[in-house]
A and B are shown apart, each in its own frame.
Chain A
Amino acid sequence: MSENNILAIITTKKLRDKVAGGAPIFFADNEEEVEELSSLLARITLAMVHDLENGIKIIVRH
């Protein structure tokens, strides 16, 4: 099985202190923008969006 990689992290500005690390982080103004950004990023990178259910979404390539 291929290596799984977090390609990007998408969240809102108010959750700024919940995210950090090596992957690119995208801050959105609101929930709708998170949804839109994550879906676009997933299409562009041919990867999949996962929701951590705390307002943070990650893009993972499987």
Chain B
Amino acid sequence: MFEYDEMFFFSLLLGFLARALMLKIDYRQFPSYPHSYVIHLTLGAIAAALGALVIPLLLEKEFIAITFITIAAQQFRDVRSMERESLAKIEKTELIPRGEAYIEGIAKLFEARNYLALISSFTTNLIYYYSNWYIALLGGSLVAYGLHSFMKGPTVGDIADVEVVEISIKKKSIGIDEVIMMNVGEEEALEIWSREGIGVKIIPRDEDARATLANLGQRQAILHDLSILMGIKLDLGLQHFSPLARLNIDNGSLNIIFIPQEPDEIFIKEAVERIPVLESSQRKPLKDKIGRKAAD
């Protein structure tokens, strides 16, 4: 009889590791250490266990058990609503909110990562059945890595050019170039804007990027991430320092004004470039014939 326990162990291990490695903490501080870690590692282990059970059950002709596995997999849909709910709840405590589109993106990502753990442990299982444990581990890791890089979406730097520019002040209005973005009524605030305010111009490379950058959720996500990365001079009661992102409707470039804590132009440019493009804000007019023709 075939040895199932080793097969199960290696598949579970690989699926779990695949999930764990994706839980790296980055500047977004999400998931928050350590409780979310426990939640996601546990769910990842369960997903990996489900994936590791498929082949043994098939070999034993336990078809009813397989239907139970599909029911169990349904549970991962709750991960998405769990993440969405908790993020939406803390949204009120953010000076610059993430925005609904960003939250939706994060929630979707966390659901998808469980399936990734499931798929990699299933592949390890499959390869183990046809070969041995080290080829199985290798193959499983390759699949996990492949899926992980496939799930990595583009960043703002991939679809647009970023320039750090001076903000322009005309009487009481501030903006970038010809685009007026905010009217500031206080002399003191205007002075601070002119001394410390920094403008960022995100110039889309093509029509797809233009449509993507115009999305309000995408703009909010850029503001949120930028404010975390560069720090921002803002507080309750100081609304006149709120960062803004507005389009130049003539050429579709996105203009951002804000007052950073770290006015380091090189890093501001890099920070904007590595902000993710949200899945839900991506538009592809160039994929359609009409869109392509109109773009000429």
Which residues does A use to contact B, with CB under 8 Å? 35, 38-39, 42-43, 46-51, 53, 57-58, 62
Contacts and interface: CB of A to CB of B under 8 A. Distances in A.
Contacts of B184: 49-51
A51 B172 contact: yes
8 contacts: A35-B186, A35-B187, A39-B186, A46-B236, A47-B239, A49-B186, A50-B185, A51-B172
Contacts of B240: 42, 48-49
| Interface size range on B against A | 10 to 19
B203 to A, nearest CB: 26
Contacts of A42: 185-186, 237, 239-240
A50 B186 CA distance: 8
A46 B237 CA distance: 5
Contacts of B189: 49
Closest 3 CB pairs of A and B: A49-B185, A51-B185, A48-B239
Contact of B171 (A39, A46, A53): A53
B280 interface: no
Given A39-B188, A53-B171, A53-B172, A46 B239 contact: yes
Given A47-B239, A51-B185, 20 more contacts: A35-B187, A42-B185, A42-B237, A42-B240, A43-B237, A46-B236, A46-B237, A48-B239, A48-B240, A49-B184, A49-B186, A49-B240, A50-B172, A50-B183, A50-B185, A51-B183, A51-B184, A53-B171, A57-B185, A58-B185
Interface string B220-241: 0000000000000000110110
B247 to A, nearest CB: 15
A46 B187 CA distance: 18
A48 B237 CA distance: 8
Contact of A62 (B185, B236, B239): B239
